[in-house]
């Protein structure tokens, strides 16, 4: 288990992480969401003992990150947002050195390196200097370090940035495998689909604070009552917003051009009834869409900001 107890970290008076308290359970994928500059990377670096918390403490698997940094570091493997390795070296050399320094035994290391390189389709390029490779390939090598290490706590900071769709799916599959093998995964991302698909729980960070923690489905569920139905009509009928608002579940209704926009709870259940109301008033419905809350909406709700 990873425990953040009232953790703050400041740099020259700038508070990058502010009073973060949260727990990450063993063998779960914990998504850390937030826009750039939210404090995600600083929080990760504090856990990884690279930064010392200005206040509070981080406990990883029972070890205090400030007092037992060597023990904590031996448990953690990080795939950084921007690839961090010697670009004069080849992928194979980078992975060999990373495996060696993190204590992966040679025969196991060699096997894992071959497996990971093959999965990422990097065999042909494995002996080229990495500075000659594309951004996506460099990112794959950064991720590969953690997949070779297979640490107890695996941290991925924007693991699918720069990657194409097949590579992204491959990374997700490999992270799932890591979790299945018993690793705890901390996944920092600002990609909602990634967080939603991968995470058992997510923590939303904004301006250095952890503003909400929970399971994605529950967080979305917490926003029930914020469904949006958009009905495009052939001709707008002015009395329709007032008519549909007579229903208790409807919070708001208005026309935007020829589209009737209705904010309500239980949109899926009420949709047939609302279409009836509209057609009874002579409205001709051309198209209908129902939008239920997403993690993006959850983020918007708690921070007042859009992620993208």
Residue from 95, 78, 26, 306 nearest 187 by CA: 78
- Determine the interface stretch with another protein among 27-35, 83-91, 106-114, 226-234 (rule: CB under 8 A): 83-91
Considering the complex, what minimum distance in angstroms separates the CB of residue 177 from another protein? 22
Interface with another protein, residue 156, by CB under 8 A = no
Q: Which of 3, 48, 58, 295 binds another protein (CB under 8 A)?
A: 48
- Determine the interface stretch with another protein among 50-58, 234-242, 260-268, 283-291 (rule: CB under 8 A): 50-58
Site for another protein in 123-152 (CB under 8 A): 129
Measured CA to CA, the distance from residue 151 to residue 60 in angstroms comes to 13
Interface with another protein, residue 239, by CB under 8 A = no
Residue from 91, 167, 96 nearest 126 by CA: 91
Measured CA to CA, the distance from residue 149 to residue 265 in angstroms comes to 47
Q: Which is nearer to another protein, 146 or 170 (CB)?
A: 146
Q: Which is nearer to another protein, 88 or 123 (CB)?
A: 88
Site for another protein in 190-229 (CB under 8 A): none
Considering the complex, what minimum distance in angstroms separates the CB of residue 51 from another protein? 5
Cβ distance 7 to 46 under 8 Å? yes
Interface with another protein, residue 85, by CB under 8 A = yes
CA distances from 55 to 15, 21, 38, 42, 257 (A): 11, 11, 18, 13, 53
Q: Which is nearer to another protein, 183 or 303 (CB)?
A: 183
Site for another protein in 94-123 (CB under 8 A): 97, 100-103
Considering the complex, what minimum distance in angstroms separates the CB of residue 151 from another protein? 9
From the number of C-beta atoms within 10 Å of its C-beta (0-12, 13-18, 19+), residue 214 rates as: middle
Considering the complex, what minimum distance in angstroms separates the CB of residue 118 from another protein? 23
Q: Which of 73, 92, 109, 150 binds another protein (CB under 8 A)?
A: 73
CA neighbours within 13 Å on the CB side: how many for 44?
29
Q: Which of 15, 55, 69, 228 binds another protein (CB under 8 A)?
A: 69
Measured CA to CA, the distance from residue 109 to residue 13 in angstroms comes to 43
Interface with another protein, residue 55, by CB under 8 A = no
- Determine the interface stretch with another protein among 43-51, 221-229, 244-252, 264-272 (rule: CB under 8 A): 43-51
Residue from 184, 206, 209 nearest 298 by CA: 206
Q: State the pairing for strand pair 55-60/2-11.
A: antiparallel
Q: Name every residue whose Cβ is closer than 8 Å to that of residue 19 and which is 6 or more positions away in sequence.
A: 6, 7, 8, 55, 56, 209
Interface with another protein, residue 51, by CB under 8 A = yes
* Binding residues vs another protein (CB under 8 A): 9-12, 45, 48-52, 69-70, 73-74, 76, 78, 80, 82, 84-86, 88-89, 93, 97, 100-103, 129
């Amino acid at each position: 288990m990873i425990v953040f107890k009232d953790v703050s970290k400041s740099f020259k008076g700038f508070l990058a992480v502010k009073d973060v308290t949260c727990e990450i359970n063993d063998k779960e994928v914990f998504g850390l969401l937030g826009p750039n500059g939210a404090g995600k990377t600083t929080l990760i670096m504090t856990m990884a003992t690279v930064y010392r918390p200005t206040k509070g403490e981080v406990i990883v698997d029972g070890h205090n990150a400030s007092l037992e940094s060597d023990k904590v570091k031996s448990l953690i493997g990080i795939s950084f947002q921007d690839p961090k390795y010697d670009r004069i070296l080849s992928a194979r050399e980078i992975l060999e050195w990373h495996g060696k320094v993190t204590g992966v035994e040679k025969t196991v290391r060699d096997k894992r390196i071959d497996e990971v390189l093959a999965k990422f389709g990097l065999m042909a390029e494995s002996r080229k200097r990495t500075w000659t490779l594309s951004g996506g390939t460099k990112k794959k090598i950064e991720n590969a370090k953690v997949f070779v290490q297979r640490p107890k706590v695996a941290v991925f900071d924007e693991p699918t940035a720069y990657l194409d769709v097949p590579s992204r799916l491959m990374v997700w599959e490999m992270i799932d495998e890591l979790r299945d093998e018993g690793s705890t995964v901390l996944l920092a991302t600002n990609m909602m689909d990634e967080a939603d698909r991968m995470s058992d729980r997510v923590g939303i960070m904004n301006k250095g604070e952890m503003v909400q923690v929970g399971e994605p489905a529950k967080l979305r569920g917490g926003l029930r009552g914020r469904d949006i139905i958009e009905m495009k009509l052939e001709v707008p009928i002015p009395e329709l917003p007032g008519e549909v608002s007579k229903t208790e579940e409807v919070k708001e209704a208005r026309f935007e051009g020829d589209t009737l926009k209705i904010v309500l709870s239980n949109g899926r259940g009420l949709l047939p009834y609302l279409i009836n109301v509209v057609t009874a008033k002579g409205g001709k419905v051309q198209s209908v869409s129902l939008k239920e809350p997403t993690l993006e909406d959850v983020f918007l709700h708690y921070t007042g900001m859009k992620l993208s």
